């Protein structure tokens, strides 16, 4: 049996914080994605487009709430 490490809301938040996006500790994936999009639109976030692509390439291990947040708010970011 293979056990895969799922990417949950905390993992998603941690990855965004590592890019320099300030996000409250208790933020849900939707809030994380909205805050990341706003920061990207305001000042840009180096590495965000790459992170989005990396996570979407791992969609089989993304929790549905994280996948939905990325699709709803971050999918169409310019590279």
Distance CA 30, CA 74 (A): 10
Asked if residue 1 is part of any domain, the answer here is: no
Asked if residue 3 is part of any domain, the answer here is: no
Inform me whether the pLDDT recorded for 1 exceeds 60: no
Average pLDDT value for residue range 18-29 = 97
Q: Average per-residue pLDDT in the chain?
A: 93
Percent of all residues in the chain with a pLDDT value above 70, rounded to a whole number: 92
Asked if residue 54 is part of any domain, the answer here is: yes
What is the pLDDT, as a whole number, of residue 60? 92
Residue 49: which domain range?
A: 9-73
What's the predicted TM-score (pTM) here? 0.91
For 71, the 3-state DSSP assignment is helix
Inform me whether the pLDDT recorded for 64 exceeds 70: yes
Name the band, by pLDDT with cuts 50, 70 and 90, for residue 5. confident
Domain count, the chain: 1
Reading the block at residue 17, the tokens are 């914080």
């Amino acid at each position: 049996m293979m056990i895969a490490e799922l990417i949950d809301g905390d993992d998603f938040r941690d990855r965004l914080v590592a890019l320099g996006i300030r996000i409250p500790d208790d933020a849900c994936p939707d809030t994380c994605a909205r805050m990341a999009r706003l920061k990207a639109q305001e000042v840009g976030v180096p590495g965000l487009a790459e992170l989005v692509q990396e996570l979407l390439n791992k969609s089989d291990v993304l929790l549905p709430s994280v996948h939905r947040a990325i699709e709803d708010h971050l999918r169409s970011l310019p590279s």
